[in-house]
Amino acid sequence: MPPLDRAALQAAAAQMGAPLNDAATTQLLAYLDLLARWNKVYNLTAVRDAAQMGTHHLLDSLSVLAPLQRHADGRALRLLDVGSGGGLPGVVLAITQPGWQVTCVDAVAKKTGFIQQVALELGLKNLHAAHARVEQLSPAAADVVVSRAFASLVDFTTWTRLHLAGQGVWLAMKGKNPADEIAALPADVQVFHVEQLQVPGLDAERCAIWLRPA
């Protein structure tokens, strides 16, 4: 598969129900380029191939945009992306939704340093980075706490509960439906929706687990 170009990115986003305007498309491709360049020095992700970065990171992160837009229902969301790594999905969501406030949290300083550099170079005033363990961070009052390949559902919800706003929810991006993780959840955490995600060019199962305090 060739590296993701402008036309392919816009076609894939439209296929996932989240069409991109020209400005967002330009910024997403610029972010992908920054990620590839920084990765050579700072080892932000194990994925090295440019084409794979496009599908496994950028498009995979974009797959939750339409579900989040439906959840927002026109509201400006405050998002906390925990275990964000190189900014996935947080940077992607900040680029595509400039009205949302997005904070990316990671315990590795070089990763949050990269996210701060992305915010600076792309002029993303709504994108913030926090170098911390998420359970030690000041409460974020987030409408949605999101994670992608971060931890088990039990650990994810336990460590981040303090960051939910009054009506806040969790959104965990997973591969196959993690039935064992769902079964292990405590009684005070409710799964209210499991959404199958289709990522163009990615031959793997993906789903989004929506949870809230019971």
What is the arithmetic mean of pLDDT over 5-22? 97
Domain range enclosing 18: 6-213
- Is the pLDDT confidence value at 40 over 90? no
- Is the pLDDT confidence value at 206 over 70? yes
Q: Dump pLDDT digits (tens) for 60-73.
A: 999 999 999 999 99
**Overall number of domains in the chain:** 1
Cα angle, residue 40 at apex, residues 126 and 206 outer, rounded to 5°: 60
In a domain, 1, yes or no: no
In a domain, 26, yes or no: yes
> CA 10, 11, 14, 16: dihedral to nearest 10 degrees?
-110
- 16-45 burial, b at 16+ Cβ within 10 Å, e below that, comes to bebebeeebbebbbebbebbbebbeeeebb
Cβ count near 98 (within 10 Å): 17
pLDDT of residue 1: 63
Least confident range from 17-26, 42-51, 98-107: namely: 42-51
In a domain, 196, yes or no: yes
**% of the chain exceeding 90 in pLDDT:** 87
What is the pTM for the complete model shown?
A: 0.96
Q: Dump pLDDT digits (tens) for 121-131.
A: 999 999 999 99
C-alpha distances (whole Å) from 19 to each of 10, 41, 74, 112, 195 are: 7, 33, 16, 28, 19
In a domain, 131, yes or no: yes
In a domain, 43, yes or no: yes
- Quick one: 113 exposed, middle or buried, by C-beta within 10 A (0-12, 13-18, 19+)? middle
The two structure tokens encoding residue 36? 């590839």
The CATH code of the domain that includes 132 is 3.40.50.150
